[in-house]
Amino acid sequence: MLTALFISVLLLIDRLLATGPVQLILEDGRAVPVEGASYFSLNDVLFFIIAAWFGGMAFLYITLSTQEKEIPGLKQTIAEIPENKNTALLAVNLLEGDEKILFKEILGNNEILQRDLVSKTGFSEPKVSRLLDRLERRGLIIRQRDGMGNRVLVKKG
């Protein structure tokens, strides 16, 4: 896909930088170059559209495929949280960004209300909910109903 992006960009640059016709006019015994007006033909415009589309699709594919690459063995490594905190902290090292911050907060408390996570981390309620969904799918936590909210627990092996 990277080659498709590279080729389409090169072709577009080549066509866009192509010079128009040059005429030589004799004035006072000297040849003076005069650049004629150059317009893009219908074929050129169609070429630009197709090359830009291929380049855009290649760029999107590259961008989207690198965003959510799954780390091989991640599910096997943290499918079950062991009962001691040392190995739970090892699982924290496999997480990144906001998930890591949230999971550390949960580990520090063993169990915590979801609304307390919102206030302690400063994340919005929807963001905390999405992050907890991800941690739950990875088998790191369990959410239990607690009145109008949820109690978040570290999952034991």
Same structural domain for residues 17 and 50? yes
| Residue range 32-71, pLDDT digits in tens | 888 776 777 788 888 888 888 888 888 888 888 776 555 4
The domain in which residue 90 lies consists of 74-154
Same structural domain for residues 57 and 81? no
Same structural domain for residues 150 and 78? yes
Choosing from 67, 94, 113, the residue where a domain stops is 67
Which CATH number covers residue 117?
1.10.10.10
Choosing from 47, 67, 87, the residue where a domain stops is 67
Choosing from 45, 67, 89, the residue where a domain stops is 67
Same structural domain for residues 109 and 63? no
Q: pLDDT confidence of 26, banded at 50, 70, 90?
A: confident
Same structural domain for residues 45 and 116? no
Sheet holding 149-154, edge to edge: 111-113, 149-154, 141-146
The secondary structure of 70-124, three-state, reads: CCCCHHHHHCCCCCCHHHHHHHHHHCCHHHHHHHHHHHHHCEEEHHHHHHHHCCC
| Residue range 83-103, pLDDT digits in tens | 555 666 667 777 788 888 888
Same structural domain for residues 90 and 116? yes
Q: Is a pLDDT exceeding 60 seen at residue 72?
A: no
Please give the tally of structural domains in the chain.
Answer: 2
Same structural domain for residues 144 and 82? yes
